[in-house]
Chains A and B, each alone.
Chain A
Amino acid sequence: MSRRRVVVVSAGLSSPSSTRLLADRLAAATAQALAGRGVETELEVVELRDVAHELTDHLLTGFPSARLRAALDAVAAADGVIAVSPVFSASYSGLFKTFFDVLDRDALDGTPVLVAATAGSARHSLVLEHALRPLFTYLRAVVVPTAVFAASEDWAGPGALVDRVERAARELVALVAAREPQAAADPYEDASAFERLLAGS
């Protein structure tokens, strides 16, 4: 049975958080859809709250702590990413953005990403389209067509949210399963990089 590594990045601040709740829904639906294709899921959850101080330190010092390094490496080596932010002041939260600010610029190149957000009201739902999607497009990720937004009222009962979660997960899985499993690139290993530079290529 083949395996794919799915990494969830959740920027919820409270505990329990509805952002994490949505992230878990998406992760479960993704694992189920992968299982339907005979693919095992290796799931890792990065809770940004746990590394919030370390993210600020990274901005100031230019290097990550060991724990933050592990989180950044996990995302860089992921076969698929589920990125979920609460809506703060009409956009993703600052914490969410900071994580992707310090991530290596090429880390998500070609990686399938499912974007999702939570808020108190459905009026913010287009944050997914005007903030999260362009962010990941800039990072050259492949963002799945269905973005999932959950307002408070969506947790009231079965409805459109469940359908959207499943559709988005299916879209993510179609991309993840079609890609070869990713190995994290080792920047220290390219022995002839200097020679190519000297040759002017």
Chain B
Amino acid sequence: MQFGIFSVGDVTPDPTTGRTPTEAERIQAMVAIALKAEEVGLDVFATGEHHNPPFVPSSPTTMLGYLAARTERLVLSTATTLITTNDPVKIAEDYAMLQHLAGGRVDLMMGRGNTGPVYPWFGKDIRDGIALAVENYALLRRLWREDVVDWQGRYRTPLQGFTSTPRPLDGVPPFVWHGSIRSPEIAQQAGYYGDGFFHNNIFWPMEHTRRMVEVYRRSFERYGHGSADQAVVGLGGQVFMRKNSQDAVREFRPYFDNAPVYGHGPSLEDFTEQTPLTVGSPQQVIDRTLGFREQVGDYQRQLFLMDHAGLPLKTVLEQLDLLGEQVVPVLRREFDALRPAHVPDAPTHASLKAGLALPAAVAPGADSSGAGAPVAGQPVGAR
């Protein structure tokens, strides 16, 4: 099982001091946090992609390329890559280049983005969000898998005789996760292609997460990638820890109460009960996280949101120490002991290259129910 962190990259005032970091400080803090993640033994660092203040990470491959040079083991990922407003051709090129520079330590999580004006700023319409995600991703897959692509669709200028360079490292496209909080269509998309599905459950009740993962697992099985319990699932998590849980609550409360996403709303206690947010001792975090498995089954990737709401860098680094030293080793052991042998790990470049990762080895669109499956990878607009 993979453990890691994902960063939104928000520039938020520290509510306890009123101080707002500069963009330069926040960018350097994200780098320090990613390096710390590797140092404490985590597996994955994922950056968000945003095109408006107060967020800094507009250019994920620039940051991840820099991190690739400064790390050795860490898998560099996104949370999320905007499959709607980015040109799929540019995604294919940028992430293939990153893959080469990082020696294959790259995967991506596709998302639609939820900031309305970003669509018009990039020449798109938010009402086409799902259709954009479907068409753009279908093209992206072909660009990584076919050397020469002829393509015509609804949302981008046609391509004739186009070759996306560089070709993926070792001929192995980066593994893709699809992130969606609310749209069952996207969970089905992930299952259709045998890709991973990530549910960022941190702001939602677990019951909803359970239903979305269930949609994905059914789709994964329906399209012939393996049994439902072999589907590749990732979850979010949000924690704040101190040795004594009362200290954790006392220290985190002002950050919670003023957080950009949920601040000035429900109480910390209500939100902790309703969502996976855990504020307490490392043992409480362990227990809560192990509980996710009871809702969604054996899963492959757990990412935690640690640096947000104005928490100072020093505090975040302390949190990562606790995560790496006291929480993740126990979770690794417990989850591994519980997972049956036929449930795979999350695919990596090495496993995909070796052709060992069952889910990605099966051709997409092979419908085990035999009910007229479409041919995957065919251009949408050509039908």
Contacts and interface: CB of A to CB of B under 8 A. Distances in A.
Contacts of A63: 203-205, 208, 274
Contact of A193 (B188, B205, B222, B264): B188
Contacts of B185: 193-194, 197
B158 interface: no
A57 B265 contact: yes
Given A57-B265, A57-B270, A200 B188 contact: no
B214 A198 contact: no
B219 interface: yes
Contacts of A191: 188, 218-219, 222
Interface in B242-289: 261-266, 270-271, 274
Nearest to B218: A191
A66 B374 CA distance: 39
A56 B262 CA distance: 11
A193 B381 contact: no
A73 to B, nearest CB: 12
Nearest to A193: B185
Interface in B139-169: 154
Contacts of B186: 194
B203 A188 contact: no
B27 interface: no
Q: With a 10 A CB-CB cut-off, give which of A56, A60, A197 has the most chain B CB atoms.
A: A197
Nearest to A62: B203
Secondary structure of the A contact surface, majority rule: helix
Interface in B108-143: 130-131, 134, 138
B383 interface: yes
Interface residues of A, number: 20
Contacts, number: 69
B45 interface: no
A188 to B, nearest CB: 5
Given A61-B266, A65-B274, A198-B380, A188 B215 contact: yes
B114 to A, nearest CB: 9
A105 to B, nearest CB: 13
A181 B284 CA distance: 46
A101 B350 CA distance: 49
B115 to A, nearest CB: 14
Contacts of A187: 184
A190 interface: yes
Contacts of B3: none
Given A56-B265, A188-B211, A194 B134 contact: yes
Contacts of A193: 184-185, 188
Given A187-B184, A188-B184, A188-B211, A57 B266 contact: yes
A65 B211 CA distance: 17
B192 A61 contact: no
Nearest to A196: B185
Nearest to B212: A188
Q: With a 10 A CB-CB cut-off, give which of A193, A195, A197, A198 has the most chain B CB atoms.
A: A198
Contacts of B203: 61-63
B189 interface: yes
A190 B383 contact: no
B262 A61 contact: yes
A60 to B, nearest CB: 3
A194 B266 contact: no
B20 to A, nearest CB: 22
B266 A198 contact: no
A187 B185 CA distance: 10
A188 B214 contact: yes
A57 B215 CA distance: 27
Given A63-B208, A191-B219, 13 more contacts: A60-B266, A61-B261, A61-B271, A62-B203, A63-B204, A188-B215, A193-B188, A194-B188, A194-B192, A195-B188, A195-B374, A198-B138, A200-B381
Q: Give me the 6 closest cross-chain CB pairs, A-B, nearest first.
A: A60-B265, A194-B188, A57-B266, A197-B134, A193-B185, A188-B211
Interface of A: 56-57, 59-63, 65-66, 187-188, 190-191, 193-195, 197-200
5 contacts: A61-B261, A191-B188, A194-B192, A197-B185, A198-B192
